Structure 1
Amino acid sequence: MNKSINIQDTFLNQLRKENIPATVYLTNGFQIRGIIKAFDNFTIVIDSDGRQQMVYKHAISTFTPQRSVSLMQDNATEE
């Protein structure tokens, strides 16, 4: 059966699983550098400088990972 790929969840899950540092750019211009610890449909938890911050996705403009992220996902496993 053909399953559509959710790029956003795949991208965030790879950042989380591989502990890839990323810079999160907010719509107000603020930047948060850290590790994605968790996410859901509306929020992301980021560990930045030893503190956890919960950020609403609607406030995020861009993610820039420190290295490339593989979007190829094993179809048998999800989050």
Structure 2
Amino acid sequence: MGKAINLQDMFLNQVRKEGIGVTIYLTNSVQLRGQVRGFDAFTVLLDTPGKPTQLVYKHAVASIVPAKPVGSYRPAAEHEADQRRRSEEE
């Protein structure tokens, strides 16, 4: 069986690589804005201009909203299969 797809890792990595700003909504209604600097299984590092880097625990996150649309963060094989299927339909 292949490796399981981890959507949160793909999403966080894409916003990090593209430098897209995000708003992180916490479960206590606090909003944090900045850029994802890094992440692991339990935390997200968030850079906000003029402030120290914040270490945010994922269990406190309700949602993460990017400031603009995020490029494809699907596995490459899945994206290529979609492209082939679309070209065959044309």
Q: TM-score range by the shorter chain?
A: 0.7 to 0.9
The structure with the larger Rg is 2
Task: In structure 2, give the amino acid aligned to 1:64.
Answer: V
Q: Match of 1:15?
A: 15
Q: Larger strand proportion, structure 1 or 2?
A: 1
Q: State the number of aligned residues.
A: 75
Structure 1 moving runs of 4+ over 6 Å: none
Q: Larger helix proportion, structure 1 or 2?
A: 2
Alignment of 1:1-79 (within 5 A): 2-51=2-51, 52-69=53-70, 70-74=72-76
List alignment gaps of at least 5 residues for structure 1.
none
Task: In structure 2, give the amino acid aligned to 1:43.
Answer: T
Q: Match of 2:84?
A: none
Secondary structure at the counterpart of residue 36 of structure 1:
strand
Q: Calculate percent identity across the aligned residue pairs.
A: 49
TM-score by length of 1: 0.85
Secondary structure at the counterpart of residue 34 of structure 1:
strand
Q: Which has the higher contact order (CA 8 A, sep 6+)?
A: 1
CA RMSD of aligned residues (A): 1.5
What's the offset of the Cα at 1:2? Answer: 3.7
List alignment gaps of at least 5 residues for structure 2.
78-90
